[in-house]
């Protein structure tokens, strides 16, 4: 809060500078000032910054973060408009998708990542987002196709893609395929989980003795 007081004083001579208002907003937000009574300093200063620089993505992200704490639907509405007006704002689009996920609106979140991926097919992180959300939606066919594509592209680390592919085989009742895929997950935290699932798949195939021996 002392930082907030200092930044506020330093910013006073620059009322037409969006960065000055943003600095005050960020200091207020980090200092917990918005939580004191009816003080909305962080939001008000962010909106002043955006009034001076409407397309400023970082300020838009801060506004959505502040608003989403109490009114996630309003934050979603705001970010939707901002992303529509600023189609190159990838971070804002990602934040919008995250808000959709938090509200369990998986189809809308997937649509956001799909639009981002359509604009840049080399951005595998967006393809991964579409794939993960397809799993959440139980769209197994789409998820399988995307994760296979990601595997061919050697995307991801620590066996993330391999583990999802194994889980997809399990979810769709292909237990032997699931065993083979779980065994392909590299060592590490995911590899340990995969080992446990191998035994579970053996049990689902009725191979209880083999499962016990494997464990």
Summarize pLDDT for 19-53 with one digit per residue, the tens.
999 999 999 999 877 555 446 899 999 999 999 99
- Residue 37: what pLDDT? 46
Q: Helix, strand, or coil here: 84?
A: helix
Q: Within 13 Å of residue 68, how many CA atoms lie on the same side as its CB?
A: 20
Q: Which contiguous run of DSSP H or E holds residue 175?
A: helix 175-183
pTM for the model: 0.84
Burial (CB < 10 A; 0-12, 13-18, 19+), residue 97, is buried
pLDDT, tens digit, 9 for 90 and up, residues 68-88: 999 999 999 999 999 999 999
Predicted local confidence at residue 40, as pLDDT: 87
Contact criterion met (CB below 8 Å) for 166 and 185: yes
Mean pLDDT of 131-138: 97
Q: Is the pLDDT of residue 105 over 80?
A: yes
């Amino acid at each position: 809060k002392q930082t907030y007081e200092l930044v506020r004083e330093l910013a006073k001579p620059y009322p037409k500078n969006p960065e000055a208002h943003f600095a005050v907003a960020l200091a207020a937000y980090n200092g917990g000032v918005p939580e004191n009574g009816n003080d909305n300093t962080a939001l008000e200063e962010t909106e002043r910054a955006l009034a001076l620089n409407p397309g400023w993505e970082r300020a838009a992200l801060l506004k959505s973060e502040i608003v989403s704490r109490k009114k996630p639907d309003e934050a979603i509405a705001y970010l939707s408009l901002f992303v529509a007006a600023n189609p190159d704002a990838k971070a804002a689009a990602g934040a919008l998708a995250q808000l959709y996920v938090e509200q369990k609106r998986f189809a809308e979140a997937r649509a956001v990542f799909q639009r981002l991926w359509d604009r840049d097919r080399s951005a595998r992180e967006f393809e991964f987002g579409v794939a993960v959300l397809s799993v959440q939606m139980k769209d197994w066919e789409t998820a399988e196709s995307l994760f296979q594509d990601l595997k061919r592209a050697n995307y991801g680390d620590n066996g993330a893609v391999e583990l999802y592919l194994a889980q997809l085989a399990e979810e769709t009742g292909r237990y032997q395929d699931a065993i083979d895929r779980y065994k392909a997950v590299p060592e590490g935290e995911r590899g340990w989980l995969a080992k446990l699932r191998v035994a579970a798949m053996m049990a689902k195939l009725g191979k209880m003795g083999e499962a016990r021996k494997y464990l």
